[in-house]
Amino acid sequence: EPEVTQTPSHQVTQMGQEVILRCVPISNHLYFYWYRQILGQKVEFLVSFYNNEISEKSEIFDDQFSVERPDGSNFTLKIRSTKLEDSAMYFCASRYTSDTQYFGPGTRLTVL
């Protein structure tokens, strides 16, 4: 069964550094998402992306964040200058046309 994949599984970075989290959504899916989950808390929406542009974003998704679909298969989340509070699990999700979003295994980001 096709699935969403994410790399790396764990990223450790110094505060102020830029990080890029990578996702390969399910191949025929059209809508792409990033969510985050701070340890022990619920999953929170960051951004949705369709037709090569952001369709919706949350208040968490400020100017430090950006997303890109650089080619036909990858979907990336960039954090320009990481802060301690950016430490979390970041999940990529995708869907085709139904409302059902399928999630990847996540990237654990640790900011030191």
Partner 1 sequence: GQQLNQSPQSMFIQEGEDVSMNCTSSSIFNTWLWYKQDPGEGPVLLIALYKAGELTSNGRLTAQFGITRKDSFLNISASIPSDVGIYFCAGLKSYNTDKLIFGTGTRLQVFP
| Interaction pattern, residues 52-91, with partner 1; x per rule: CB under 8 A | ---xx-x--------------------------------x
Peptide bond preceding 70 in cis form (omega within 30 of 0): no
Distance CA 91, CA 103 (A): 7
Closest CA to 29 of 77, 101, 107, 104: 101
Sign, Cα dihedral of 25, 28, 33, 35: negative
CB of 11 to partner 1, least distance (A): 14
Q: In this chain, which of 22, 29, 31, 66 binds partner 1, going by CB under 8 A? A: 31
Binding site for partner 1 (CB under 8 A): 4, 31, 33, 35, 42-45, 48, 50, 55-56, 58, 91, 93, 98-106, 108
